[in-house]
Structure 1
Amino acid sequence: MLTHIHHINFVVADLQKAIQYFQKLLSQQATIERLSERNVETARFKIGESLLILVQPITNEGAVASILKNKGEGIFLLSLATLSIDETLKDFELSYAEKRKGLEGWSVCDISPYEQFGAILQLTEMPQSSSK
C-alpha cells in the first residue's frame, strides 16, 4: 500500500547554488550526504512528510550524470512510500530488477524506466516503526 510521496529528486549541475536557493525558499538548512556508490552528492530538505532531494553527479559516470547530460536539470525521480516493497510489487503485479539501499539506508526499488514518464518512479519502504 502506498502511503505518501516519500521524496522527489532534482538533478542539479551546481549543488551549492541549488542549496542556497532552496534554503532561502524553504527557510531551512539542507542535510548533505554523499553516495559514492551512486557517484552523487545530495542535499535534502523536509517538507511535511516528504523530502525534496537535490542530486549532483560527482563524476561523469552513472545514471544521474547521464540524466543531467541528456535531459538537463530538473525533476528526475518521484519516490512513493510503502510499508512493503515486495507486497506493493505483488499488488500492482510488477516485477523489479533489484532493491537497493538509498539515503539513510532506505530500501528502494525503481518501478519504471526514466524514458517511460520523463521521471523514474520508485518505491521507498517505510517500516511501520518509522515515519521519516
Structure 2
Amino acid sequence: MLTHIHHINFVVADLNASIFYFKKLLGQQPIVETLPERNVKTARFEIGQSLLVLVQPITDEGVVADILADKGEGIFLISFATHSIDKTLQELELSYNEKRKGIDGWPICDISPFEQFGVVLQLTETPKFNSI
C-alpha cells in the first residue's frame, strides 16, 4: 500500500539558482550532494513527510542530462512511499524494472517509463518507523 509521496525530482539547468529560489520559498537550507556515479548534483528539501529534490546533470551523459536536453527543466520523477515494494507490486499487479538503491540507500523501483506520463513513477521502500 502506498503511504505518501516520498519525493518529487525536478531536473534543473542551474542548481545554485534553483536552490536560491527554493530556499526563499521553503525557508530552509537543502542537503546538497554530488553523485558522480549518476552524473548529477542534487539538493534535497523536506516538506512534511516528503522531499523535493533538485537534480542537475554534471555531464552531458546520462538519463538526467537526456531529459534536460529533450524536455527542459521541470518535474521528471514522482516517487511513492511504501513499506514493501514487493508487496505493493504484487497487490497492484504492476510491471516494473529491477529494484535498486537510491539516495541514502533507499530501496527504489521504477514502475512506469518516462514516456507513459511524462514523468517516471517510482516506489520507495521506507521503514514503518520513519516517514522519510
TM-score by length of 1: 0.97
Q: Could you say which residue in structure 1 is the equivalent of 2:36? A: 36
Q: Deviations over 1:50-77 (max 9, x none)?
A: 1000000111111100000000000000
Give SS of 2:98's match: coil
CA distance in 2, matches of 1:36, 1:85: 26
1:112: how far off? 0.4
Q: Deviations over 1:15-48 (max 9, x none)?
A: 0000000001100001001222211110010001
Q: Could you say which residue in structure 1 is the equivalent of 2:118? A: 118
TM-score by length of 2: 0.97
Letter in 2 for 1:53: V
1:96: how far off? 2.1
Letter in 1 for 2:23: Q
Q: Could you say which residue in structure 2 is the equivalent of 1:108? A: 108
CA distance in 2, matches of 1:91, 1:7: 22
Q: Could you say which residue in structure 1 is the equivalent of 2:59? A: 59
Question: What residue ranges of structure 2 are gaps of 5+ in the alignment?
Answer: none
Tell me the number of residue pairs that the alignment of Structure 1 and Structure 2 aligns.
132
1:129: how far off? 2.9
Q: Could you say which residue in structure 1 is the equivalent of 2:49? A: 49
Q: Could you say which residue in structure 1 is the equivalent of 2:20? A: 20
1:103: how far off? 1.0
- Between stretches 61-70 and 31-40, larger displacement belongs to 31-40
Q: Could you say which residue in structure 2 is the equivalent of 1:83? A: 83
Cα root mean square deviation, aligned:
0.8
CA distance in 2, matches of 1:105, 1:76: 20
Q: Deviations over 1:64-109 (max 9, x none)?
A: 0000000000000000000011111111112322111111111111
Letter in 1 for 2:9: N
CA distance in 2, matches of 1:33, 1:95: 31
| Percent identical | 70
CA distance in 1, matches of 2:51, 2:110: 17
Question: What residue ranges of structure 1 are gaps of 5+ in the alignment?
Answer: none
Give SS of 1:16's match: helix
